[in-house]
Chains A and B, each alone.
Chain A
Amino acid sequence: MMYFLIRRTVGFIATLIAVSIVVFAVMNILPGDPALTILGMDATDDALAALREDLGLNEPLLARYFGWVAGALTGDFGLSHSFRVPVSELISERLAMTISLAVAGMLLTLLIALSVGIYAASRHGKAGDWVTMFISQLGIAVPAFWLSILLVLLFAVNLRWLPPGGFPGWSEPVAAMRSLILPTVALALVQSAVLARVTRSSALEVMRQDFTRTARASGLSQRRILWRHVLPNALVPIVTIVGMQFAALVTGTIVIENVFYLPGLGRLIFQSIANRDLPTVQALVMLFAIIVVTANFVVDLLYVLIDPRLKARA
């Protein structure tokens, strides 16, 4: 176990270093100049030169990179080129929004997918199975932004039950929750369609095994068999997919935040790339990388919890 943890930590750090180098290189190779983006088409050459000096763009590439690394190690991610405020401030004011959305989306995904998947497995080959699997197939095919627009048209424009977008902040908890309902549903429906299918096939596999038949033979109720015996044994592939989906959910918020004009990290990274705002992009990509790597790490730990046989191998 100790060896496993050390190996993972080393991998974690190596991933972050690789990501930081790639982002730095890509942002510098990509055509575009932050000073020109800020000052626009009428800017004079001396104004551009003054701004470049001001932003520290005249320093050599390597010096800038190591300067950034040194700052990042002490928790200082520098000043945003375009906003001219500390990057940490930009991220912290938006983090709550994106995390709330991703976590709510994940919970709703699990709720829908596990119920639908187990239900479909229990109705294997019957109408209920066909109908739910048909709907989930549709769910996989529908793009999240399109579903979002449909949800907005129905619940915000026609019925006027929920706001069409925006986020008032957690200082108004009721309004904040209301404004997260539609984005969460839009995010979760598409994700849960994938997960429901995995849940169903994994459950079906387990249901064919001897211990399920034994449980049934010993007179346990169908519900008890499904939730106490089938689901726990079907969890390994489900958890694998959930781990991948959490990463997809975090990145999926970029699209959802645009459609619902939510002030989250997704919109920030979008805007920062357009503005060639290297310090902000760098910090955000690192953050996303940390989230994804952590999610994978948690999945690995969960495997061990779910299936004690893996402990020996780990």
Chain B
Amino acid sequence: MMHVQKSLKFAAFALALGLSATAASSADLVIGMQQEPTSLDPTADATASIDAMMTMNVYEALTIIAENGEVQPNLATAWKVSDDGLTYTFTLAEGVKFHDGTTLDAQDVIFSFERAMAEDSVNPSKDIFKPIESVTALDAGTIEIKLKNKDAFFLFNMGQGDSAIVGAESVATNNAKPVGTGPFKFDSWTRGDRLTLVKNPDYRDADAVALDKVTFRFISDPAAATAAMMAEELDAFPGFPAPELLEQFEADPRFRVNQGNTEGEVILAMNNAKPPFDNVEVRRAVSMAINRDEIIDGAMYGKATPIGSFYPPHGKAYVDLTGVYPPDTAKAKAMFEAEGVAGQTMTLRVPPFPYAMRSAEIIQAQLADAGIDAKVENVEWGFWIDEIYKKHNYDMTIIAHTSPNDMGNFARGPKYFYGYDDPKMTALWESISTEADPEKRNALLKEGQELLTEQAVHGFLFQLPLLGVFRNEVQGYWTSAPVLYTPLKGVSNG
């Protein structure tokens, strides 16, 4: 009897605490995020999760990039390009209001560009504004942008978070209370826990927005992320941190696992400015010593596409160069011996990302087989970006380059951490970035890929996949990510 009473008491207690699971309204979406930003302003902070949450949801830009990578109209409903490719005339959407009630007009666009281009600008991609000569308003709804030189990526870059159009009245507090023109309004941010957006009823295309409320929850630990998905605390985890844990979601009928593309090329970077990697034969030997399939199997559980140069496999100009340096340990070893570097010790300094740390262990073993003693040093991000990226203090490192159209990295000369200085590549990139004709540009991009492979500038490993877990009810999510944002406008939940 005692026991019955106790369990009844427990049941009442359980009810009082609301222990039974409650289903959320289907117009709500809860999204898991691994990385929490410290600011919410994509025009002043490079953190990728700012773009993931804010860009094209809260903030908008003149153009928007579609899932297939195409440039489409956004705040600019149309544009004209002059015959010399130097003058762009944008027509702004009418009746657009910022979330604080102020009206968007040409002056806001001018303000946003001048802020990004100013001497004291802290825009994380200030380079994309470099080609701009002037920004003027022809009338309240028309903007004319003149360029100093042709820029093939200009319209694409105008659709990135760095180019978001912000209001002069709200820009000072955008880091904590973002104000934009997008389909969702910022609602609240409990730092360390969650960030909430609500539908913007005044959005110009409000009928196309299915969700009323979007909550981002910040969960960095992969095991905790798995538990939160399994317990259905979350509806989606679009950037799932651990490929090794995906199997249980694939086996569970409640969930859908997505493997899509990103613009992130993962490379084994070699310091081209420093011996022995200033010697192209040594770099070629490294390219032969590494076995991509083993790396992808071991580090990514098979969920990645190999690359043979520095260009995404889903891109229109892609050429498959993965066969140029077939894995051949014996040949690599002979080459290392011929160049007198066999048995040398070098450092492989790795940033704290699972893809990099795991790849490093496998590459270390592969290099050891070819007679090179690579010492793996795991460093944290603040250290990496200062010591390796800025001060070039490294022999080898592993990093994903996540920006689109970033072959220009190889044209940055010795100032950039690659230490790669090749006038041929610099000239080639100059023609790529000013070539307006897509066909011709793609031909040049192919040339670029071939040159980088021929020079074996780095060990080209694989394209970083976009791995996501979704409850079946969640529809309309992008499966691939040509940019750092994911518009939630077309997403629904059941």
Which one of A51, A164, A178, A277 lies within 8 Å of B227 (CB-CB)?
A164
What residues of chain A lie closer than 8 Å to B17, measured between beta carbons? 174, 177-178
Residues 243 to 279 of chain A near chain B (Cβ within 8 Å): 258-264, 267-268, 271, 273-277
Give chain B interface residues in 380-401, CB to chain A under 8 Å.
380-383, 385-387, 389-390, 401
Closest A residue, CB atoms, query B403: A42
One digit per residue, 1 when the CB lies within 8 angstroms of any chain B CB and 0 when it does not, for chain A 144-182 equals: 000001001100110011111111010000110110000
Q: Which of the segments A7-15, A81-89, A190-198, A295-303 contacts the partner chain?
A: A81-89
CB-CB under 8 A for A40 and B231, given A32-B382, A259-B223, A274-B381: no
**A33 located at the interface, meaning its Cβ lies under 8 Å from any Cβ of chain B in the complex:** yes
A74: interface (CB < 8 Å): no
- Cβ of A38 within 8 Å of any chain B Cβ, yes or no, is yes
* A115 on the B face (CB < 8 A): no
A157 to B389, CA, bound (A): 42
Most chain B Cβ neighbours within 10 Å, of A93, A153, A165: A165
Residue from the list B45, B46, B193, B223 in contact with A166, Cβ < 8 A: B193
* A157 with B227: CB separation less than 8 A: yes
Cα distance, A192 to B121, chains bound together (Å):
54
Partner of A47 from B121, B217, B383, B401 at Cβ < 8 Å:
B121
A to B contact number (C-beta, < 8 Å): 168
Cα(A166)–Cα(B401), bound, Å: 32
Contacts A51-B122, A259-B223, A261-B218 known; A161 to B19 CB distance under 8 Å? yes
Task: Tell which of B46, B126, B192, B230 has the most Cβ of chain A within 10 Å.
Answer: B192
Q: Which chain A residues border B218 with CB–CB below 8 Å?
A: 261
CA distance A160 to B14 in the complex (A): 12
Q: How far is the CA of A177 from the CA of B381 in the complex (A)?
A: 35
Tell me whether A167 and B175 are in contact in the complex, defined as CB-CB below 8 angstroms, given that A39-B46, A156-B231, A161-B14 are known contacts: no
- Interface contact B122-A82, CB-CB below 8 Å: no
**For the side of the interface on B, what is the size category?**
35 or more
Shortest CB distance B76–A (Å): 23
Known contacts A50-B121, A178-B17, A261-B220; is A44 also within 8 Å of B127 by CB? yes
CA distance A80 to B386 in the complex (A): 20
A165 to B228, CA, bound (A): 7
Question: Contact between B36 and A47 (Cβ–Cβ < 8 Å)?
Answer: no
| A94 interface residue (CB < 8 Å to B) | yes
Q: Is the CB of B386 within 8 A of A31?
A: yes
The one of A37, A53, A177 in contact with B382, judged by C-beta atoms closer than 8 angstroms, is: A37
Interface residues of A in 78-131 (CB under 8 A from B): 80, 82-85, 90, 93-94
Are A261 and B385 in touch, CB under 8 angstroms?
A: no
What's the nearest-Cβ distance from chain B to residue A27, in Å? 10
Q: What 1/0 mask marks residues of chain A from 8 to 35 whose CB sits below 8 Å from any chain B CB?
A: 0000000000000000000000111100
Identify B231's interface contact among A93, A163, A275, CB under 8 A: A163
Please report which residues of chain B, range 161-206, place their CB below 8 angstroms from some CB of chain A when the two chains form the complex.
175-176, 190-194
Q: State whether the Cβ of A73 lies closer than 8 Å to any Cβ in chain B.
A: no
**Residues in B neighbouring A275, C-beta threshold 8 A:** 38, 382
User: Is B124 positioned at the interface, with any CB of A under 8 Å from its CB?
Assistant: yes
A132 to B20, CA, bound (A): 33
Contact assessment for B231 and A47 in the assembled complex, using a CB-CB cutoff below 8 Å: no
B382 near A167 (CB under 8 angstroms)? no
Asked if B373 CB lies within 8 Å of chain A CBs, one says: no
Please tell me if A6 contacts chain B, counting CB pairs below 8 Å.
no
**Which A residue sits closest to B41, measured CB to CB?**
A84
* Inter-subunit contact B223/A83 (CB<8 Å): no
Contact status A167-B193, CB under 8 Å: yes
Residues on A with beta carbons closer than 8 Å to the beta carbon of B224: 149, 152, 164-165, 258-261
Among A32, A85, A277, the residue within 8 A (CB) of B386 is A32
Interface string of A30-74 (1 = CB under 8 A from B): 111100111111111011001101100000000000000000000
Are A166 and B122 in contact (CB-based, < 8 A)?
Answer: no
CB-nearest residue of chain B to A272: B38
B387 partner, pick from A31, A267, A268, beta carbons under 8 A: A31
Within 8 Å by CB of A83, from B39, B220, B389, lies: B39
Q: Given the complex of chains A and B, what is the CA–CA distance between A163 and B219 in angstroms?
A: 14
B120 touches A (CB below 8 Å)? yes
Given that A161-B19, A174-B18 are contacting pairs, would A262 and B192 also be in contact in the complex, using a CB cutoff of 8 Å? yes
A82 near B39 with CB under 8 A, answer yes
Using a CB-CB cutoff of 8 Å, which residues 213-240 of chain B contact chain A?
A: 217-221, 223-224, 227-228, 230-231, 233
Q: What are 19 A-B contacts with C-beta separation under 8 Å?
A: A33-B390, A39-B124, A40-B124, A42-B403, A44-B127, A46-B121, A47-B124, A82-B39, A90-B191, A152-B227, A160-B20, A160-B21, A161-B19, A164-B224, A165-B233, A259-B223, A260-B224, A261-B224, A274-B381
Give B contacts to A, CB under 8 Å: 14, 16-21, 36, 38-39, 44-47, 119-127, 175-176, 190-194, 217-221, 223-224, 227-228, 230-231, 233, 380-383, 385-387, 389-390, 401, 403
Contacts beyond the supplied A164-B227, A263-B193: 16 A-B pairs with Cβ under 8 Å: A31-B386, A32-B385, A36-B390, A43-B46, A43-B124, A46-B119, A53-B120, A83-B191, A84-B39, A93-B191, A160-B231, A164-B228, A178-B19, A261-B218, A261-B221, A275-B38
Residues of A within 8 A of B (CB): 30-33, 36-44, 46-47, 50-51, 53-54, 80, 82-85, 90, 93-94, 149, 152-153, 156-157, 160-167, 169, 174-175, 177-178, 258-264, 267-268, 271, 273-277
